[in-house]
Amino acid sequence: MSDRILGGFGLLLTAFFIWRTSVIELSFISDPFGPKAFPYIISVVFGLASLVVFLRPDTEPEWPPLSRMFEIGMTVAVMVAYALVLPELGFVISTALTGAYLSWRLGTPPLKALAAGVAISLGIFVVFHLILGLSLARGPFGF
Amino acid sequence: MDSLSALAHGFSVALTFQNLGLAFIGCFLGTIIGALPGLGPSNGVAILIPLAFTLGLPATPALILLTSVYYGAMYGGRISSILLNIPGDEPALMTTLDGYPMAKQGMAGEALALSGVASFVGSFFATWGLVFLAPQLVKVALLFGPAEYFALFTVAFATLGGIASRNQSKAALAAGLGLGIAMIGVDGQTGVPRFTFGEVHLYDGIDFLVAIVGLFALSEVFIFLEHRGTEKATGDSSGVKVGRSTVPWPMLKSTLPTMGRSTMIGFIAGVLPGAGASLGSFISYSLEKKLVDKDGTFGKGDPRGVAAPEAGNNAAAGGALVPMLALGVPGSGTTAVLLAMLLALNITPGPLLFQSNPDVVWGLIAALFIANFMLLFMNIPMVGIFVRVLLIPPRYLMPAVAMISFVGIYGISGSTFDLIVMVLFGVLGWGLRKLDVPLVPVILGVLLGNQMEANLRRAMTISDGDWTALFASPLSIGLWLFAFVGFVLPMIAGRFFRVKVKPAMAEEMDPD
């Protein structure tokens, strides 16, 4: 079933891709081939491959239980939130929090996870910023 | 002997304090990366590229650092194979078969030392192979025009799909996906935006480093999250003690022929497009088992069963550099990642690299020789350090890996948008791995898509739109045939490779 969904999704994506290719505006400079032809070729390959996957699916993979899927979803949300708050809170605080969350969800007891997050954050800050001079996100406190 | 004088020049480039230091750091990090289950050569190198890039290292030192990591990871993978029965990375999978039984019989030290020597033999001679074979390949590659290059790229995709994956249609799907992603952004030749949906961030296209780190490194975090608390997440090192890590001379002597044969097979497997180190170690082990396993001792702790896959995978690692450097077409996942780094540094590998930038190529090759000796030293007398590193549990390690990935990508662009795209690639990578869709063709597509299109269009411009120009020269016809055979043959004969290459834990592994 999963492969059928993958194949079906691939076919939809192909249709979308072909549509987006067809609306590429041509500029006045052009070569005999143009910017549309290669995307069309890709669509054919991708579409055919999706069709085969749809028609001849492999055995079903082992999906994690729903609770685990939710957990992965939450982690994705936390990572996106990290990307968003990074410029606001600065590197050290946001990284400590995110690192702690990840460590906690991977099975560390909460307090230890917090310590791990802080250690990871400070470790990266010292090695990459103070020693190697990489510029990290600056927050309101300058770190 | 042009190669030898070029190599001598390479040594003069590589032998600076900075480069030696970077090679040392690279070897050390690489061994750790290889040894830790969950971090392998391709995601290890992927995380380090953005860092090497943002630190502003020039091309040669950056390459030396990262290829040392690559070689180091090939050495390191065996440590957890032998001690924990968990391969540190996919190429080290075959080493578990005899390495772990040896360790259980109280010969962990011997197994580690022997596999260290085998790794050294494999990669040392493969590096010599690189010295002599790459310039020859360059001579052929200089005859390539745009049409031949287009065919060559097709070969890369077809063979990667053919040998390295279990389902051709999924490999093709992955390649199409990668190529499609590469199309996003402003078209280089006519300046029109494609698939950008009016989003300014997309005008430059998707940075391949963002895609690589997301697909390889972050997806690993999700895999660990999925398996938290199950037996897949932890190893069992109880009862295995590392004794003295030396090889008794008789044992070494009895394995020498095995190492020699495996090195050759591994090197060839590495040079061939699409095979890579995992297949190198697999074929070496299988062949050795057929050839010398008369008493049925393979799988029960036979030293030759440890030496064969280790010599094989390290030789393949060196071999895989040949097409990557000489043609600009990677033969495996990790060399694809190394190619990404070259492209990020604005260096286009291929025949012209040898002519216009000999310092980079030969400095790199010289550094590989130096790295090999460093690795031999690190992996035999100092192996105890790495054994201790193995005890870091993934629940501390994986968050650090994730955060370092974020740091690297943020360092390149300072853009929140890129970070979010990377997270999305992480999810995509996780989903594709669950569905058994190989990730390497996706990466290759993202990396090579624009060059592939540029060559196609150049060929069409030269021929004024005549399609037959793609099949005009004998060279291009040969390449097309090779691509066709490479894609179709595994469907017929592929069972031989696939049955055993597919382990129960395939999804855990990153491709080499």
ipTM score: 0.92
Q: Are the beta carbons of A87 and B416 separated by less than 8 Å?
A: yes
| In a shared domain, residues A51 and A70 | no
Q: How many CB pairs under 8 A join A and B?
A: 198
B483 Cβ partners below 8 Å, 6+ apart? B151, B154, B155, B157, B158, B159
Per-residue pLDDT tens for B297-325?
888 888 888 888 889 888 988 888 888 88
| In a shared domain, residues A85 and A124 | yes
Secondary structure element (H or E) that encloses residue B185, with its range: strand B185-186
Domain housing A71: 66-131
Domain-located, residue A142: no
Nearest to B424 by CA among B170, B111, B213, B187: B213
Closest Cα in chain B to A70: B226
| In a shared domain, residues A91 and A120 | yes
Domain boundary among A55, A80, A98: A55
B410 interfaces chain A, CB cutoff of 8 Å = yes
| In a shared domain, residues A81 and A49 | no
| In a shared domain, residues A125 and A75 | yes
Please report the pLDDT score of residue B508 as a whole number.
42
Domain-located, residue A141: no
Cβ contacts (< 8 Å) between A21 and chain B: which residues?
Answer: 194
Per-residue pLDDT tens for B190-219?
778 888 887 788 888 888 889 988 988 888
Cβ contacts (< 8 Å) between B414 and chain A: which residues?
Answer: 135, 137
Mean pLDDT score of chain B: 83
| In a shared domain, residues A46 and A89 | no
Domain-located, residue A137: no
Tally of structural domains, chain A: 2
pLDDT at residue B405 above 50? yes
A127 interfaces chain B, CB cutoff of 8 Å = no
Domain-located, residue A138: no
Domain-located, residue A50: yes
Per-residue pLDDT tens for A84-130?
998 888 889 999 999 999 999 988 888 999 999 999 999 988 888 88
Q: How many helices (H) and strands (E) does chain A have?
A: 5, 0
| In a shared domain, residues A124 and A96 | yes
CB proximity under 8 Å: A 42-71 to B: 42-43, 45-46, 48-50, 52-53, 56, 58, 61, 63-64, 68, 71
B195 interfaces chain A, CB cutoff of 8 Å = yes
| In a shared domain, residues A124 and A91 | yes
| In a shared domain, residues A33 and A82 | no
Domain-located, residue A16: yes
Torsion of CA B331, A61, B36, B51, to 10 degrees: 60
| In a shared domain, residues A31 and A79 | no
Domain-located, residue A140: no
d(CA A136, CA A142): 10
Domain-located, residue A136: no
| In a shared domain, residues A90 and A47 | no
A103 interfaces chain B, CB cutoff of 8 Å = yes
B136 interfaces chain A, CB cutoff of 8 Å = no
| In a shared domain, residues A82 and A127 | yes
Secondary structure element (H or E) that encloses residue B150, with its range: helix B146-164
In terms of DSSP bridges, do strands B193-194 and B185-186 run parallel, antiparallel, or are they unpaired?
A: antiparallel
